[in-house]
Structure formats: structure tokens, C-alpha cells
Amino acid sequence: MTLVYFAWVRQKVGAGEERIALPAEVTTVAELAAFLRAKGGGYAEAFADDKRLRVAINQEHAGWDAPVTDADEIAFFPPVTGG
């Protein structure tokens, strides 16, 4: 799967994009966030508080319970501030 990060999530993780193999136990966005948080370091900081994050699956806004597959592009970012 492809993971992409924006704004301070990107800065804390230390990369804008990475590819990982979907771990067997991960089936939802929430589980993916928990998996990433458990990696520690910048990931632990970026995923410290799920409420501060938003997610998109294949470039569409998604919820925390949404299912994820290994073919997906999953983006984590703070609430948007454009316009």
C-alpha cells in the first residue's frame, strides 16, 4: 500500500510518501494508525492523537472505521486549512 502524509504529519514522520506491505492484522484505518503509532519515534508523535488527524483513501475523505487494502493509497493529514 502507499502511505502519504501532509503538513505536520509529513514533518513528524519525516517523509511525504512511503510504500509498506499491509500487515495481516490491519483491516481498518484505525488499525493502520495504531500500527504506525507503534513504530515509535516520529510516527508515535504524528499518530499520538487520532482526533487531530484526517484520512483519505484513494484520494477521497474517509472515516476511521473504513476498510483498507494493500492496493490502497492512504493519506493522513491534519484538518485542511485552504481557501
**Interface residues with another protein (CB under 8 A)?**
4, 6-8, 56, 59-61, 75, 77-83
The length of the chain, given as a count of residues: 83
Residue 53 CB, nearest distance to another protein (Å)? 12
Tell me whether residue 16 or residue 23 sits nearer to another protein (CB atom): 16
- 17 versus 23: smaller Cβ distance to another protein: 17
Closest by CA position to 54, among listed 13, 4, 20, 16: 4
Q: What's the closest the beta carbon of residue 22 comes to another protein, in angstroms? A: 20
Q: Which is nearer to another protein, 64 or 77 (CB)?
A: 77
